[in-house]
Amino acid sequence: MEQYLNRGIKDIIQECPETGRILDEFNIGCTACSVGTCLLKDIVEVHNLPYEEEHALMLRISRVIYPGAEVEVPRVQRKAQPSSGGIKYSPPMKALVDEHTVIKRLLALIPRVIEELDVTREQHRKLVLEVVDFIRSYADRFHHAKEEDILFREFGEDLEIIKSMHEEHRIGRGHVKAVIEAVESGDTAAVKDHLTAYGQLLTGHIRKEDEILYPWMDRNLSTAQVGALFSKFAETDEQSRETACRQKEFIRSLEKKFTCEEVTNHV
């Protein structure tokens, strides 16, 4: 069983699909993950499984991999002890979670933006490009850059979980590029498809960061590292203050626009 700890989870699921269903039962969504390059041993630590749950999970998986055999269930070596209770973020991580809240407000509006979209009309094109501007300047250059240039580097780019976050950022950028190309060619259906795909990708990505990645990072950061992150984030915030304010204002105006339209339509 020990050798399976160092194997990629997607490989194990492919070889033995039942392991994917077991992970789902433990609320570990590897089957739905768009990247899934984590190793089995990472899953236990990253998801903060209490020791009893880790044992139960490993026992179930070992019985599927070695049916009928008596297998010794290994315990994963962890850098940090599992913590219990609700999620308590350190100040720099809390700042990133707050930025996710702003991004999620845009994601919630995507179905409204594409509802009656027709990019052959100038006003509709303008709206999509404003959405793209928010994604590029706030979600990507401001928020994702903080993750990629500061936070992820603290843990090393070779970690599978960090690679999978980078990969999802890359896929997101691909959707945004495709949206711009579709606006230029007047292809409304493609704009709708790529904005929807972006919304779904980011919704899952943010959930993983809020519920799994950031809490795991917090468990592994020293007080000195938390302090250093906090001051580096403050520096970035200072440089991007105007952009952040402008984009938050854009979200407010978009929410207002759709709320007003809803009220008007019901009068």
Residue pair 145/13 in contact (Cβ under 8 Å)? The answer is no
Q: Which is nearer to Fe ion, 62 or 164 (CB)?
A: 164
From 19-27, 41-49, 113-121, 206-214, give the range in contact with Fe ion by CB under 5 A. 206-214
AA letter at 111: P
* Rounded least distance, CB 214 to Fe ion, Å: 8
Residues that bind Fe ion (rule: CB under 5 A) add up to a total of 2
Whose tokens are 């070992």? That residue is 62
DSSP SS3 for 68: coil
Residue 210 binding Fe ion, by CB under 5 A: no
DSSP calls for 95-119: HHHHHHHHHHHHHHHHHHHHHT--T
Listed residue (65, 58, 67) closest to 26, CA to CA: 58
Residue 39: strand pairing partners: 8
Which listed range, 70-78, 141-149, 222-230, 244-252, lies at the site for Fe ion (CB under 5 A)? 141-149
Decide whether 42 or 147 has the Cβ nearer to Fe ion.
Answer: 147
Q: Least CB distance from residue 189 to Fe ion, whole Å?
A: 28
Window 144-163: residues binding Fe ion (CB under 5 A): 147
From its phi and psi, is residue 186 left (phi > 0), alpha (psi between -120 and 50) or beta? left
93's tokens: 């991580």
Q: Which among 57-65, 73-81, 188-196, 205-213 is the span making contact with Fe ion, rule CB under 5 A?
A: 205-213
d(CA 227, CA 235): 13
The correct pick among 42, 54, 209, 218 for binding Fe ion (CB under 5 A) is: 209
Return the number of the residue (45 or 147) whose C-beta is nearest Fe ion.
147
Q: CB of residue 99 vs Fe ion: minimum separation in angstroms?
A: 7
Helix, strand, coil % in the chain, rounded to nearest 5: 75, 0, 25
In the complex with Fe ion, which residue's Cβ is closer, 60 or 169? 169
Task: Give the binding range for Fe ion (CB under 5 A) out of 37-45, 51-59, 204-212, 239-247.
Answer: 204-212
| Residues of this chain that bind Fe ion (CB under 5 A) | 147, 209
